Amino acid sequence: MTDAQPARGVFATDRSGAVGGATDPLDIADQVLHLVRAKAADAEAEVEVRHGEEALTRFASGFIHQNVAEETRRVLLRVALDGRSAGSSMDGFDAGGLARLVDDVLEVARHRPEDPDWPGLAEAAPAAGVEHWDDATASAPPDERARRVREFVDAALGLETAGSCLTAGTRVAFANSAGQRLVGRATVAGLSGIARTATSDGSSRDASVGLQALDGGVLGRRAAARARESADAIDLEPGRYEVVLEPQCVANMLEFLFLHGFNGRAVQEGRSFARLGEAQFDRSITLLDDATDTGQVGVAFDAEGTPKRRLEVVRAGVTTAILHTRRTARKAGTESTGHATEESGQRGAVPANVVLAAGDRPTSALVAQVERGLLVTDFWYTRILDPRTLVVTGLTRNGVWLVEGGRVARPVRNLRFTQSFIEALAPGAVRGVGSERTLILDGLEAASLVPALHLASWNFTGGARG
């Protein structure tokens, strides 16, 4: 046997330290499992391996000032040994590092107390045959990102601009000692920027599986128009107003709903608002987590090897499902919904593919329905105050306008709000759902596909300074 043909399961490295001279994620996962079996034959083990490239081009003051690319090589290992469990992760595929990872995880497991909630391993099962992948995006050169930045800057017609354009492609493999073996791959591209006058900012963003879907000129014109239209804003008295919330605001709201409400761990710890079978939301709200949606991103299985599926969480206002990892599902006497991540031990189930069903009216038609209220572009600095009622405080930014008689009347300075997101979406509180949806990224492997919302009441408590 030559060095170029190592036996399966035997660690051999190339000059870069890669196991077996290869970077195929499933090969790496299989070899890590082999090493676990060699050191602890009775251990249950699961391995997730990620290999890809992330690239980012940043711009400010109309010029690109940073272009970076990083190859990602990440291995996540969990084991259960004699009723004791442990897990850890590392960056890189070098044989020495992987051997140390296995040794360390097994050593920690041996010294842990028994884990009565260890859920066991995912059984062998296929994942959905969906692939959110684009070859051109996975190999996109810096020039392609720079071209979209130039389109954005040129479209702003002299306004100060800043933002970023990203591309990423990742291959993922999962294997466990129970025989589950899955592979997937995903790409994502995003362009986000602001345009600025002397007194105002305007923002615009878009994302997709493919970079070719992003039009820097369209986004730059939109950001510049919002900046100019929000210049010389006025103060507005605090109080309750009708609002039209654009997609970034809606995505922010849904993040809180999922992490603090539709989260199996939050339910089991008694800090969730979610009540299965109850009409907690307006009938116009149908909310899903759906990795199979063609407008979404990511792979079709989670970090525990559970295949993802289309999951209706709210159907016509009625709460119909809770998100689970294998651990919280075991406690609840149900099955995992495929929402485990590397951080699930602390956070519980985390959504990756949030989808809010679209309505039948464009955003302009939602604004036309407002008698007196506000059109809001972005939220930021949002913080939870009470998870049981989902009261959140935060600020507006990048464009707020007073709407009177269905027409945008004048720009308004940024406002602070303190609002129960459950109350804002309650039965009778949603006056319209937009027909146009935007993909809002949350990192590189999670996103929300959401429209604008017209809500009957939103509680603004003061200006941005207090």
Q: Residue 465 has what pLDDT? A: 67
The answer, yes or no, to whether residue 166 has pLDDT greater than 50, is: yes
| pLDDT tens digits, 44-92 | 999 999 999 999 999 999 999 999 999 999 999 999 999 999 999 999 9
Query: Which carries the bigger pLDDT value, residue 13 or residue 428?
Result: 428
Residue located via tokens 């008295």:
237
pLDDT band at 344 (very low <50, low <70, confident <90, very high): confident
pLDDT band at 405 (very low <50, low <70, confident <90, very high): very high
Whether 95 contacts 27, CB under 8 Å: no
User: Span 352-363, mean pLDDT?
Assistant: 96
CATH says 25-196 is which class? alpha beta
Q: What percent of the chain has pLDDT over 70?
A: 95
What residue spans in the chain does CATH classification 3.30.2290.10 cover?
A: 25-196
User: Span 424-445, mean pLDDT?
Assistant: 95
Q: Residue 444 has what pLDDT? A: 77
The answer, yes or no, to whether residue 17 has pLDDT greater than 70, is: no
Q: What percent of the chain has pLDDT over 90?
A: 92
User: Span 266-277, mean pLDDT?
Assistant: 96
Q: Residue 22 has what pLDDT? A: 56
Bridge-based pairing of strands 372-386 and 239-245 is parallel
Query: Nearest Cα to 46, choosing from 96, 94, 118, 112?
Result: 118
- The tally of CA atoms less than 13 A away on the side-chain side of residue 307 is 14
| Beta carbons within 10 angstroms of residue 266's beta carbon | 24
Furthest C-alpha separation in the chain = 81
Q: Residue 156 has what pLDDT? A: 97
| pLDDT tens digits, 234-246 | 999 999 999 999 9
pLDDT band at 345 (very low <50, low <70, confident <90, very high): confident
For residue 78, give both structure tokens. Answer: 């969990």
User: Span 194-198, mean pLDDT?
Assistant: 96
| pLDDT tens digits, 151-160 | 999 999 999 9
pLDDT band at 97 (very low <50, low <70, confident <90, very high): very high
pLDDT band at 466 (very low <50, low <70, confident <90, very high): low
| pLDDT tens digits, 104-120 | 999 999 999 999 999 99
Segment among 39-43, 419-423, 441-445 with least mean pLDDT:
441-445
pTM (2 d.p.):
0.92
Q: Residue 374 has what pLDDT? A: 98
Separation CA 11–CA 85 (nearest Å): 25
Separation CA 35–CA 250 (nearest Å): 46
Q: Residue 5 has what pLDDT? A: 28
> Helix/strand/coil (H, E, C) string of the chain?
CCCCCCCCCCCCECCCCEECCCCCHHHHHHHHHHHHHHHCCCCEEEEEEEEEEEEEEEEECCEEEEEEEEEEEEEEEEEEECCEEEEEEEECCEHHHHHHHHHHHHHHHHHCCCCCCCCCCCCCCCCCCCCCCCHHHHCCCHHHHHHHHHHHHHHCCCCEEEEEEEEEEEEEEEEECCCCEEEEEEEEEEEEEEEECCCCEEEEEEEECCHHHCCHHHHHHHHHHHHHHCCCCECCCCEEEEEEECHHHHHHHHHHHHHHCCEHHHHHCCCCCCCCCCECCCCCCCEEECCCCCCCCCCCECCCCCECCCEEEEECCEECCCECCHHHHHHHCCCCCCCCCCCHHHHCCCCCEEEECCCCECHHHHHHCCCEEEEEEEEEEEEEEECCCCEEEEEEEEEEEEEECCEEEEEECCEEEEEEHHHHCCCCCEEEEEEEEEEEECCCCCEEEEEEEEEEEEEEEEECCC
* R_g over Cα of the chain: 24
Q: Residue 11 has what pLDDT? A: 31
Alpha carbon 111 to its chain centroid, in Å, reads 35
Single-letter amino acid, residue 212: Q
The answer, yes or no, to whether residue 7 has pLDDT greater than 80, is: no
Segment among 181-190, 340-349, 374-383 with least mean pLDDT:
340-349
User: Span 88-98, mean pLDDT?
Assistant: 95
Q: Residue 16 has what pLDDT? A: 40
Mean pLDDT of the chain: 93
pLDDT band at 15 (very low <50, low <70, confident <90, very high): very low
